Structure 1
Amino acid sequence: MRDVDALRGFALLGILLVNVQVMADPYAGQGPYGSAGERGAAWLVTALVSSKFYLLFAFLFGYSFTLQARSAEREGAGFAGRQLRRLLCLWCLGLAHAVLLFPGDILMTYAVLGLVLFAARGLAPRKAVRVAAALVVSLGVLLLGRGLLAPVATAPGGAALPRKGTEVASCRGDPVSVVHANLGQWHDLLAGDLLYAPHILAAFLVGLAAGKRQVLAEFDRYPGRARRLVGYGLPVGLAGGVVTAMCRNGPLDGRWYDIGTAVGVLTAPALTAAYGSGLLLVLRTRRGRWLGEALAAAGRLALTHYLTQSLAMALVFTGYGLALYGRVGLVLVLAGCCVFYAAQLALSAWLVHRFRHGPVEWLLHNATRGRGA
């Protein structure tokens, strides 16, 4: 479990760096590009972070599914009932999260696709990986075809156009206005969530296959494979990330947006695998052990931290608090995120020595097992 938790704790940083751009909207009122520093920061996040860490989270979701199945079997409990209660609780948490805090919530998508994962739980590991590969390739081809056949109506570089004045005012307004703005943005983001569902499901299935083989529990048996994943995955994933960033953030214009997205869909899994394998190799070094402890502590509280990140961003950028939506540049926003993440790591180390579960994990744990558990 330590490796699972460490990977989950590591993924929290990438998720935060991507989500904050939706919450802060640093280009509102400045045009889609901002300063050279802002453009460079956006370019690097797209190349190195976007679409990589949600795949890592999704992989771990699929892997943890097998751990939960074994736990239910050991305890003689019905796994179907547990899993359905868990997914229902996750969906309700996601709904509240999307409406109140962050319209780009992923928990509801996980809950719905979790039903598909449950239905596919009998797949053999190799077949699960083949289905996952087919999903990724199909989505990449679909996006590539769309990019080649129809120009994308966006600003140069594929960046979002500046927010309308009424939308900015809503995000900076009272709590009712913030909720209204969240609902509007949620509607806009829903199509994207549906489009990327095959990508997430593919990561679920790879996690399912890895869990059945207990790859992370027996990682020390596969150091050679891990090094090969890093050796092949880094150049492929980084090259794909660079192409995606060029299409989305310049110098190529918006007509290349979907082509860049297709390249990202096809190559992001390689970089995700390289990141995860590389981290696990580092954690087995003498100097990496302390990092593993810090990341694992955060990973044990991952759901609490994920929601806390959204709460903190809402308090900083919306009318719930400082209302800095569109008023802070991306470089400063990302620097603040790194400081906040470091604080989460420090707090996690303190919390896990005093409590068995984080507050949201405790809620999900009890919902999974039923009230009397």
Structure 2
Amino acid sequence: MKFSSKDPPVVIEELPGTSSRIADVDALRAVALLLILVVNIAFFASGYPFHLVADPAHDSWGDQAVGWTVELLFAMKAYLLFAFLFGYSFTLQLDSAARRGVDIVPRFRRRLAGLFVLGVLHAVLLFQGDILTTYALLGLVLLAMRRVRVGTAVRVAVLLTGAIGFVLALAATSGTQLVTDPLAALAAGQRSTEALQGGLGSLIAEHVRQLPAMVGTLLVQGPLALSAFLFGYAAGRRRLLTDVVGNRQLLRRAQRVGYPVGLAGAVVFAFGGGTANLTGLTIGLLTAPLLAAAYAATLLEFFETDRGRRVVAVLAPAGRMSLSNYLGQSLLCVLVFTGVGLGLAGSVAPTVVLLIAVAIYGMQLAASAVWMARFRYGPVEWLLRAWTEQRWPRLRAADPV
């Protein structure tokens, strides 16, 4: 089908009083982008993490402390927050389609197909730990459940989390080991690091080699991401993020439960071997949603303050173009760490890697502010929207809607 920029523009109405609340959602999404980058950048900086072993070149107490901190506070929490917002945003799309009297099914299927293609390209060319393909596949389940009641969505979400936790617990009690041969894993980590230091062909070959292992990882992360989708769907149906004051009691409860239980589970996860240990992984998986919920509740309450509104203004542009920024993070990390660019893989200490992540994020905040002041969508969002709507949407912010 040929796209035409002369097609009638789609008018998306805003509900009264929701513009600032939508900015809060964008700001939350921007925070999730930072957390995802902090977790993912280690896999660009070294080939060892994909094999569930630490890089022996960086085994000092300080290096280990950085790894523990990331696993304690961010690992398994970052992508859950992002997945929650995916489910929440789905309800906004449902509402928009209902107001305009259009069928969301074919449009959302096209969107998911576009996400899947982007995810495959991302996994092969930039980062094999891609989440877009997972979101695209799980999005079909979310679409099929678009008419379920809030209570049903919450119950299914809880059952999914409990089921995957039960399966992992069984595996742990049966003595299953994720790293059966540490020496072989170290050797594989060295080979992967050398592959990252190579050129584009070496990088792509390494990514393709790792894809089967990533499929296994997604068997655990997938159900948990779907659970977060459904929690986000329930929150969107209840307008949780558009009425922070009215839901303050619920948000406070999320903090009172989420911080003590979530942090306790995170301590067991981080100091018990992280994703390399099934017992720690099981406990971390069951408690990570609570800690992610506590983070979100705290941020939403903070965004209601005067200082919080200023922070929202800084963060929201990055959240509005989160897909472009997610892919951009991978591209920048490839240019910094692999042989395609500076080739720093394996030679940068974890503390410096963390500082590089903060620098990349700062650059993205600045670039997003400049871009969104001029355009209505991020560049990748615009292309995905064009494919979804089968027309060329107007890009410049000054253009009339």
* TM category, shorter: over 0.9
2:34 paired residue number: 13
Counterpart code for 1:323: G
Over 3 Å counting, the alpha-carbon distance change for 1:144 and 1:79 in structure 2 is: same
Match of 1:115 in 2: 140
CA distance in structure 2 between the aligned counterparts of 1:138 and 1:30, rounded to whole angstroms: 33
Aligned to 1:284: 304
Alignment of structure 1 residues 1-373 onto 2, 5 Å = 1-25=22-46, 30-31=55-56, 34-154=59-179, 161=186, 163-248=188-273, 257-371=277-391
Aligned amino acid, residue 91 of structure 2: T
CA drift at 1:13: 0.7
Question: How far did residue 265 of structure 1 move?
Answer: 0.8
Question: TM-score scaled by structure 2?
Answer: 0.87
What are the superposed Cα offsets for residues 131-185 of structure 1, whole Å, 9 maximum, x if unpaired? 100010111111111111114153899xx63545443332211211111011112
Partner Cα separation in structure 2 for residue 212 and residue 319 of structure 1 = 47
**Secondary structure of the residue that 2:130 maps to in structure 1?**
coil
AA paired with 1:342?
A: G
- Equivalent residue letter for 1:347: A
Tell me how far apart the structure 2 counterparts of residues 18 and 156 of structure 1 sit (CA, whole Å). Answer: 25
Deviations 1:58-92 (A, max 9, x none): 11111111111111122222211110000000000
Query: Could you tell me which amino acid in structure 2 is paired with residue 54 of structure 1?
Result: Y
Query: Root-mean-square deviation (CA), in Å?
Result: 2.0
Q: Which amino acid aligns with 1:61?
A: F
Q: Separation in 2 of the partners of 1:236 and 1:156? A: 33
Aligned partners of 1:333, 1:36: CA distance in 2, in Å? 16
Which 5+ residue runs of structure 1 have no aligned equivalent? none
Q: 1 CA distance for matches of 2:147 and 2:107?
A: 17
Q: Residue 187 of structure 1: CA displacement? A: 2.1
Give yes or no for contact 1:6–1:295 (8 Å, CA) kept in 2: yes
Letter of the 2:159 counterpart: A
- Secondary structure of the residue aligned to 1:123 is coil
Residue 26 (structure 1) shift = 7.2
Aligned length: 366
**Distance between the aligned counterparts of 1:27 and 1:287, measured in 2?**
41
Contact 2:266 2:288 in 1 (8 A): yes
- Secondary structure in structure 2 of the residue aligned to 1:122: coil
Corresponding residue SS for 1:50: coil
Q: CA deviation at 1:320?
A: 1.1
Between stretches 300-309 and 286-295, larger displacement belongs to 286-295
Q: Which moved more, 1:112-121 or 1:69-78?
A: 69-78
* Structure 1 stretch displaced more, 222-231 or 22-31: 22-31
1:42 deviates by: 0.6
Closer, same or farther: CA 78–32 of 1 in aligned 2, 3 Å: farther
Separation in 1 of the partners of 2:110 and 2:369? Answer: 29
> For each residue in 1:102-133, what CA deviation from the matched residue of structure 2 results, as whole angstroms up to 9, or x when unmatched?
00000000000000111111110011001100
Question: SS at 1:147's partner residue?
Answer: helix
SS of 2:251's partner is helix
Identity %: 44
Shift of 1:219: 2.1
Alpha-carbon shift at residue 367 of structure 1 (Å): 1.5
Preserved contact between residue 259 and residue 294 of structure 2 (Cα < 8 Å): yes
Q: 200-209 vs 167-176, which deviates more?
A: 167-176
Give the secondary-structure state (helix, strand or coil) at the position aligned to 1:221. coil
Contact 2:48 2:192 in 1 (8 A): no
For the Cα contact (< 8 Å) 2:107–2:388, is it kept in 1?
yes
User: Partners of 2:133 and 2:342 in 1: how far apart?
Assistant: 28
Counterpart contact for 1:30–1:162, Cα < 8 Å: no
Point out the more displaced range, 60-69 or 146-155: 146-155
Q: Is the 8 A contact 2:48 2:190 kept in 1?
A: no
